[in-house]
A and B are shown apart, each in its own frame.
Chain A
Amino acid sequence: EVQLVESGGGLIQPGGSLRLSCAASGLTVSDNFMNWVRQAPGKGLEWVSILYDGGSTYYGDSVKGRFTISRDNSKNTLYLQMNRLRVEDTAVYYCAREKALASGSPDGFDIWGPGTMVTVSS
């Protein structure tokens, strides 16, 4: 069974740092387009970052320069290092695999983890 499971969320003060993990089973992280998507309480979905199979990384404007996406191939795990956290970063953070067409274009997030809650508050 293909599964993604996030961990590492919690309560953190503004300005602090946190690292989220996404452990994968049934799929190889390094062979896939892996993303982080977040959802603030009572709000919609917001794309955060992508790590392509080739290693390229991209970020949404609201987190660029503060968050870093990475992976550990030996552990088949995706990470999100979050620095200089703000109150507005409070959200459930989902790890999601994005399907890819043969052309290399993305084709929807078909596998999601259950999410991990991050609360930034003093």
Chain B
Amino acid sequence: SYVLTQPSSVSVAPGKTARITCGGNNIERKSVHWYQQKPGQAPLLVIYHDSDRPSGIPERVSGSNSGNTATLTISSVEAGDEADYYCQVWDSSSGHRRIFGGGTKLTVL
């Protein structure tokens, strides 16, 4: 079955740029979605269809997808961005499974 690989943690100083990767075989052929989850809360969709932002998500949050890696980029990082981030795809080749990456803890130093 299809596997998504994320780093377990990423640390960044306030005001800098955070990049969280999501690796998968030929992931560029899939539509990648990203979720932010803060402690005790439900996940929040922050990027869908590789690079589209839902209403209310700031422009400093962006996504890209190329080759075997999708990337979530958060520029001008703020303390409020500290959270767990998950990538997700639909694995059409294995039926109708939805696959999540293992998650990345973003720490703002």
Which residues of A are interface residues toward B (Cβ below 8 A)? Answer: 35, 37, 44-47, 50, 56, 58, 60-61, 94, 98-99, 105-110, 112-115
Contacts and interface: CB of A to CB of B under 8 A. Distances in A.
Given A107-B48, A108-B49, A45 B97 contact: no
Interface residues of B, number: 27
A114 to B, nearest CB: 6
A109 B31 contact: no
Contact of A110 (B48, B96, B103): B48
Contacts of B45: 108-110
Interface of B: 1, 31, 33, 35, 37, 41-45, 48-49, 54, 84, 86, 88, 90, 92, 95-103
B31 A105 contact: yes
